[in-house]
Amino acid sequence: MLILSRKLGESIVIDDRIIVKIIRVDGEVVKVGIEAPASVPVHRQEVYEEIQRNNQQAAMKPGSPLPKLAAKTPEPGARPITKPVNQPDSPAP
């Protein structure tokens, strides 16, 4: 584990993409700001651990049927959405 000391307003840069900045220090409480790309999940550790537990429990439940989605009926006169053949999918926003 790398241990660093930072003062109010100072930052740490991780992998050229993530910035952790000390925003405020109130006694023993330190507030940090985190700038990261939207593709990088950022969670408090207790939330992350809960997500992991829930994922493990869901993966271990045998025979849990997935919910069925209702088919959406197109509006009268609406054109169907089609993708041209041999056209790669566009990247997600």
Reply yes or no on whether the pLDDT at 22 is more than 90.
yes
Reply yes or no on whether the pLDDT at 15 is more than 90.
yes
First CA to last CA distance, the chain: 34
CA–CA gap between residue 55 and residue 53 (Å, rounded): 5
Where along the chain do its domains lie?
11-58
- The pLDDT score that the predictor gives to residue 87 is 56
Output the pTM of the full model.
Answer: 0.57
CA–CA gap between residue 36 and residue 42 (Å, rounded): 8
With helix as H, strand as E and coil as C, how does 19-82 read? EEEEEEEECCEEEEEEECCCCCCCCCHHHHHHHHHHHHHHHHCCCCCCCCCCCCCCCCCCCCCC
